[in-house]
Amino acid sequence: MNSLAHGKNTSAVEVTNISTHGVWLLTRKTELFMSFDDFPWFKNQIIESIINVEELSSGHYYWPDIDVDLTEEMIEHPERFPLKAKIT
């Protein structure tokens, strides 16, 4: 008996929670938290736009509906990246 090959992993990254404080992102390695204070682009978005996230490469995430791309380093250490886009 031969087993079929496993399909492509479609859940490499997933938004697991959205609260009044921010967004939780589950990756292959860990769960990351993005506060709205550090990542204001997500604050006034609809849920569908926030959960529509892609992993472009390992540790590099993109939200096409919002046109935001972030790396794990940016999410884990926002203090290292003090420049933020202004919300218009």
Domain residue ranges of the chain, discontinuous segments joined by +: 14-80
Are 61 and 55 in contact by the 8 Å Cβ rule? The answer is yes
Q: pLDDT by residue for the chain (88 residues), tens digit each?
A: 454 444 454 558 999 999 999 999 999 889 999 999 999 999 999 999 999 999 999 999 999 999 999 999 999 999 898 776 555 5
Instruction: Give, in order, the Cα–Cα distances in Å from 62 to each of 13, 16, 70, 81.
Output: 10, 16, 7, 17
Residue type (1 letter), 63: W
Which pTM value belongs to this model? Answer: 0.79
- Which 3 state secondary structure label does DSSP give 72? helix
Residues whose CB falls within 8 Å of the CB of residue 78, separated by 6 or more in sequence, listed in order: 38, 39
